[in-house]
Amino acid sequence: MEAASEEKVKPIKMCPECGSEKLVRDYDSREVICHGCGLVVSEKEDFDKRSPRMFDAEDVKKKSTRGSGENLAVHDKGLSTVIDWRNKSITGRNIGKTDRQRIDFANMRRWQKKIRVSDAAEKNLAKALTNLRKLASDLNISRPLVNDGANVYRRYMKVRRSKGKKSLGRNIMEMMGAVVYYECRLYGVPRRIKEIAAACDSGKKQIYAAYCDLTEELGLQLPAEGQKPYVSKICNKLEASGIPNMTEVEVLSIKTLEIAKKYGLVEGKTPPGISMAIIYIASNMLDRNITQEKITEIAHMTEVTIRNRCKALAQSSDFVEGLYILAEQEGIDKRQVFKALGRYASSLPSAT
């Protein structure tokens, strides 16, 4: 019995299938897996002494012995030690019981903060990434975009240092606004430069100048900004403001937008402006009668912009003919097309 017990607890060092010694231990499923052939060498391995068993989020928080992993949005990538100001361990145990211990921890905490930022370049990076996280929080930007933006800024600073340019040469907040604007353009997130400038407490010209500098230094090229994200954004905000069933309007708006793109009617127009006009036309075709005032209030633009864009669309006979065909396909009365565009053109093709 004793020999069998010793054989049971003996650690596995080799795969019995391929003879490989490269074994991977999965502490969550408690399995030993061969890196070479993928064979599960052992199941329900006893890892309790090395990694405690965890069954829910609360257990993970209290018992986990692993760090949070690499985080590009922090200047040291989140790999340095953080000494909590509450003088408590990761399990919540009080470790500053006496006055002497509390003073020692305060001193260690102060020195830890100093050594985390070793030079001027790292200090600049720490301040920049702090502002980036704050800006992303204000604009509701997702964490993957923040991490990618942090990586872009690191590359930008590396290129500048390689050219002998030690200082940033710009306001850090404006540069972070440029990084966020680039990421939004890259991933199709509908954030206008005006919104980003307001969050940065800066001007549009300054943000755009920093954006041009960023793209020029890194040799970045982006496709033209699309209109679909703005159509979805405005429709979602209209529904949130109390207008029901905007999904139907959004679907018809996107189809109408495709017709306008087909005939080159969106080129040279700002995406929010053309999106507002398309939504207004689609809502009239569905007899929803959403007012121009309501749409412009949501999009933070003027009613004149909607009227000018609708007028430009109505003057294209190809676009109007395309709307008639779309109305027929969607089972919409063709007279609704005339209702949507009739006031913006001297004459429209017959609806019959």
Q: Which two tokens stand for residue 345?
A: 């053109």
Q: Is position 311 within any domain?
A: yes
Q: What is the CATH number of the domain that holds 45?
A: 2.20.25.10
CA contacts within 13 A on the Cβ side of 230? 23
Which residue, 181, 198, 218, sits at the end of a domain? 218
Q: Measure CA 173 to chain center.
A: 18
CA torsion 51-53-56-60 (nearest 10°) is -20
Which residue, 116, 150, 178, sits at the end of a domain? 116
Strand partners, 94: 88
Burial class (CB in 10 A: 0-12, 13-18, 19+), 231: buried
Gap between the Cα atoms of 180 and 191, Å rounded: 9
Q: Is position 269 within any domain?
A: yes
Return the top range by mean pLDDT from 1-15, 53-67, 162-176.
Answer: 162-176
Let me know whether 30 and 131 are in one domain: no
Mean pLDDT taken over the chain: 79
Let me know whether 234 and 323 are in one domain: yes
Let me know whether 331 and 260 are in one domain: yes
- Whether the CB-CB separation of 30 and 44 falls below 8 Å is answered with yes
Alpha helices in the chain (DSSP H): 2-9, 57-63, 99-116, 120-139, 143-162, 172-187, 193-200, 204-218, 228-240, 246-262, 271-285, 292-299, 303-314, 317-330, 335-341
pLDDT (0 to 100) of residue 18: 77
Let me know whether 43 and 92 are in one domain: no
pLDDT tops 50 at residue 5: no
Q: Which two tokens stand for residue 312?
A: 């430009």
pLDDT tops 80 at residue 263: yes
pLDDT tops 50 at residue 220: yes
Compute the average pLDDT of residues 231-259. 89
Q: Is position 241 within any domain?
A: yes
Distances from the Cα of 102 to the Cα of 1, 96, 108, 114, 318, angstroms:
53, 5, 10, 19, 77
How crowded is residue 285: how many other Cβ atoms within 10 Å of its Cβ?
26
Gap between the Cα atoms of 301 and 304, Å rounded: 9
Using one digit for the tens of pLDDT, what is the confidence trace for 143-161? 888 888 888 888 888 888 8
Let me know whether 11 and 75 are in one domain: no
Gap between the Cα atoms of 106 and 100, Å rounded: 10
Return the top range by mean pLDDT from 71-85, 220-234, 310-324.
Answer: 310-324
Q: What is the CATH number of the domain that holds 290?
A: 1.10.472.10
Q: Is position 349 within any domain?
A: no
pLDDT (0 to 100) of residue 105: 79
Gap between the Cα atoms of 278 and 280, Å rounded: 5
Question: The tokens 């990586």 sit on which residue?
Answer: 151
- Whether the CB-CB separation of 348 and 341 falls below 8 Å is answered with yes
Using one digit for the tens of pLDDT, what is the confidence trace for 96-142? 777 787 788 788 878 777 766 667 777 888 888 888 989 988 988 88
Going by pLDDT thresholds of 50, 70 and 90, the confidence category of residue 4 is very low
Let me know whether 264 and 310 are in one domain: yes
Let me know whether 61 and 73 are in one domain: no
Quote the number of domains for the chain: 4
Let me know whether 337 and 234 are in one domain: yes
DSSP for residue 226:
P
pLDDT (0 to 100) of residue 279: 92
pLDDT (0 to 100) of residue 10: 59
Q: Is position 223 within any domain?
A: no
Percent residues over pLDDT 70 in the chain: 76
Q: Is position 350 within any domain?
A: no
Which of helix, strand or coil describes residue 25?
Answer: strand
Rg (CA), the chain: 30
* Range of the structural domain that residue 290 is part of: 228-344
How crowded is residue 320: how many other Cβ atoms within 10 Å of its Cβ?
21
Let me know whether 53 and 13 are in one domain: yes
- Whether the CB-CB separation of 77 and 71 falls below 8 Å is answered with yes
Kindly report the pTM of this predicted structure.
0.60
pLDDT tops 70 at residue 66: no
Which of helix, strand or coil describes residue 23?
Answer: strand
Question: The tokens 């002998």 sit on which residue?
Answer: 164
Compute the average pLDDT of residues 17-27. 73
Let me know whether 151 and 246 are in one domain: no
Compute the average pLDDT of residues 267-275. 86
Let me know whether 62 and 75 are in one domain: no
Going by pLDDT thresholds of 50, 70 and 90, the confidence category of residue 2 is very low
Q: Is position 160 within any domain?
A: yes
pLDDT (0 to 100) of residue 177: 92
Q: Is position 352 within any domain?
A: no
Using one digit for the tens of pLDDT, what is the confidence trace for 163-182? 877 666 778 899 999 999 99
Which residue, 30, 50, 66, sits at the end of a domain? 66
